[in-house]
Amino acid sequence: MSLPRRRIIRLVATIAIVTVLLGALSFPALERHYMRQQAAQDAVPLKLAVEGLRATVERYAPLPALIAERAPLVGLLNNPNDAGRIAAVNEDLRQTAATVKATDVYLMDISGLTIAAASYRDPGSYLGRNFNYQSYFTQALNGDLSSFSVYGTTTGERGYFYAAPVEDGERIIGVLAIKFNVAAFESIWRGANSEFMVTDRNDFVFMSSRPDWHFRAIRPLSDATLRLIAQNLQYPIDRIDLLPITSTPLNADAQSVYVEGTSRESFVLTSQHLPDLDWTMSALSPRRPATLNALNTLLIAGLSAGLILAALLAYFLKQARQDEAFAKEQDAKRRLEVAVAERTQDLETALGDLRQTQTDLIQAGKLSALGQMSAALSHEFNQPLAAVKSYADNATAFLERDRLSEAQDNIARISKMADRMATISSHLRNFARRPQQATGPLLLNAVVQDALAVIEMRLASEGGEIAYTPPKTEVWVTGGHVRLQQVIVNLINNALDAMEDQAKPVVRIDIDGTTLRVRDTGPGIAPARVANIFDPFFTTKAPGKGLGLGLSISYNIVSDFGGTLSATNHPDGGAIFSVALQPATPVEVAAQ
């Protein structure tokens, strides 16, 4: 994958922003998750608190009925003004209260007037007070053996009360009530991690570990409810007020709540309903740990995402760097290619110029050859033509004087001149059309012997000599017999020409492999001429002595055989001409 650096950074930044946004969006859900977890944990202490409350409430429920059965109570109720009985009962009730750790134990007549009380010695004693308005009293008067209710007094003291009827036979003659202080419970709850509160069926907080929540309703109370509370004097009506709680449900038993007060407090609220009492007990644990947990989780997730992003960024940037390097390399390569192409173009242009120059030179060479040929031919033909004219003139003159034999002699000379011109002409014809004769295996020695036979007459007249030792084994080469013989004769003639001024010229011929060499002891070939000797019409010989075609024709013949003809000088002087031929498979001599 390859992306430009800027796009990578933009991409990573986008991912980072999206990650942060996702984190922000998922925070509430995550926090709720931890709040539910917290609620599940809170359920345990809540359950214990509920059990404790219920156990305490139930433990004392049968107590008033038991005490009510005591005979002195009935006696006192039947004789309410008996001071002795009053004192005895008061003391009895005081001891009972001390035993069960009750706030008060007191006896009322059927009008609700308290005629004996455990607190008879205390300044705020119930003694002499009438409680006929209280529900536990009326319920007990109606025969309820374990009436129970909770009250708060004008002083803010809250108590829970049990009551039972005192019967004389079948007749209810009074009510015995026991009061416990609610604050005792609340002191147990204090110090726990959570706040606790108990609400009644009207969502009125009558117990709580938080004193500032006492006597407050967590939802607005209806007028009817408020009237009823006022009527029963159950709670101090002037202290009743609203505890503003806003809540969001987390699950069936838990909510996230805000309690508005001097400052806003956040809690996870877990509650349990006590159906028999129609109370709801709630534990409110601070929301902070759940929030911190959610933040921690997000932080860890964010850090992980950051790490992955950093790794990705590093990877992509490395990739981008590699791509850049590759692109640079490619660019350099392209530039090199362009440079090479330009150079090639230059070279081709130069080569084209060279070819043109070569063509021009060849053209110039042809013209020069043509010039040389014209000069050679005009000389070759002019000389015999001039001779023919003078012989013809002579013949005419002799005929006029009837000197027939002289005339005949001149005419014979004319014929000879014509023959000579015919010979020159045939040379030229041979040069012009190179006969495409077949080549085949030849015995090299046999060709040399035939060439020597041709040259024998000239050797005899000039006193020359051939030094030739035929090869010990048969040497078979590829060529044409007559043409190869013509080449060898030509080379021997040239060698003799080069040694013209020597009294006893010797031409050495030897065969080495399939190469035949002809060596003389003449002046050799001047270095300036080496390049030209094989050109047609190149000659250094006097007019009439050479046409300059011999080596040119020989060169082409050897080439036709697939061989090469070359010239060099011997270190001891003289020229060597080498005819290198292709070897051939021997055939029957008869086929030659």
- Binding stretches for ligand ADP (CB under 6 A): 494-495, 498, 520, 522, 525, 533, 538-541, 546-552, 575
| Closest C-alpha among 506, 566, 502, 570 to residue 531 | 566
Total residue length of the chain: 592
For residue 361, the minimal CB distance to ligand ADP (Å) is 21
State which residue, 143 or 543, has the beta carbon closest to ligand ADP.
543
State which residue, 102 or 549, has the beta carbon closest to ligand ADP.
549
| Closest C-alpha among 309, 285, 374 to residue 35 | 285
| DSSP state letters, 207-224 | EESSGGGTTEESSPPPHH
DSSP 144: -
Rg from Cα positions in the chain = 75
CB-closest chain residue to ligand ADP: 546
Residue listed under structure tokens 């049968």: 62
- Cα separation of the two ends of the chain: 81
State which residue, 479 or 522, has the beta carbon closest to ligand ADP.
522
For residue 555, the minimal CB distance to ligand ADP (Å) is 9
For residue 591, the minimal CB distance to ligand ADP (Å) is 33
Token pair, residue 245, equals 């709680």
Instruction: Map residue 195 onto helix, strand or coil.
Output: strand
For residue 537, the minimal CB distance to ligand ADP (Å) is 8
Distance CA 485, CA 482 (A): 5
For residue 451, the minimal CB distance to ligand ADP (Å) is 15
Distance CA 579, CA 519 (A): 12
User: Strands 216-217 and 241-242, how do they pair?
Assistant: parallel
State which residue, 376 or 511, has the beta carbon closest to ligand ADP.
376
Cβ neighbours of residue 233 closer than 8 Å, sequence gap 6 or more: 133, 134, 151
* Region of residue 543 (phi > 0: left; psi between -120 and 50: alpha; otherwise: beta): beta
Residue listed under structure tokens 């020159």: 424
For residue 525, the minimal CB distance to ligand ADP (Å) is 5
State which residue, 28 or 523, has the beta carbon closest to ligand ADP.
523
Distance CA 310, CA 319 (A): 14
State which residue, 36 or 570, has the beta carbon closest to ligand ADP.
570
For residue 506, the minimal CB distance to ligand ADP (Å) is 13
For residue 566, the minimal CB distance to ligand ADP (Å) is 12
For residue 447, the minimal CB distance to ligand ADP (Å) is 19
State which residue, 195 or 520, has the beta carbon closest to ligand ADP.
520
State which residue, 130 or 372, has the beta carbon closest to ligand ADP.
372
State which residue, 284 or 495, has the beta carbon closest to ligand ADP.
495
Distance CA 152, CA 155 (A): 8
